[in-house]
Amino acid sequence: MNILILEDNACRVTQFRQNLIGQDVFVVDTAEAAINLLKEKSWDMLFLDNDLGGEVYVPLEEENSGSGVARWLANNVDKQPEFIVVHSLNTVAQAYIHALLPSSQVVPFAWSKLKETVNAHETRETRE
């Protein structure tokens, strides 16, 4: 499974990498980099943080954010990964991104919950 992660927090990146061993994991820390990779290839899974650049509660209209990526994906439906997880702790951004991408799941960053979500998706994939 190839997984794209938009995250700028080094501790979170380490947790993703440690818990997704064996998966093709690509981590980027800017919306522009995420969009470029979404344009280049298809992804099985996308994890979106909203607040980037070390900022908290980034305004929804900020382009360098998970919201910026979600707006791009909403306009480029053919590039949407099958499985999108919004892991931002910013509750306003969570709701906004989910409204733009209704098939996304909102799972605020807590590794145990994220792991359950990934495992459920992998189980569903093997049944199909």
CATH number, domain containing residue 113: 3.40.50.2300
Residue that wins the pLDDT comparison between 117 and 13: 13
Range ranked top by mean pLDDT from 8-22, 24-38, 102-116:
24-38
Structurally, how many domains does the chain consist of?
A: 1
The yes-or-no verdict on residue 107 having pLDDT over 80 is yes
The yes-or-no verdict on residue 6 having pLDDT over 90 is yes
d(CA 52, CA 34): 12
Q: Residue 82 sits in which domain range?
A: 2-127
d(CA 126, CA 51): 33
| 8 A C-beta contact, residue 26 and residue 7 | no
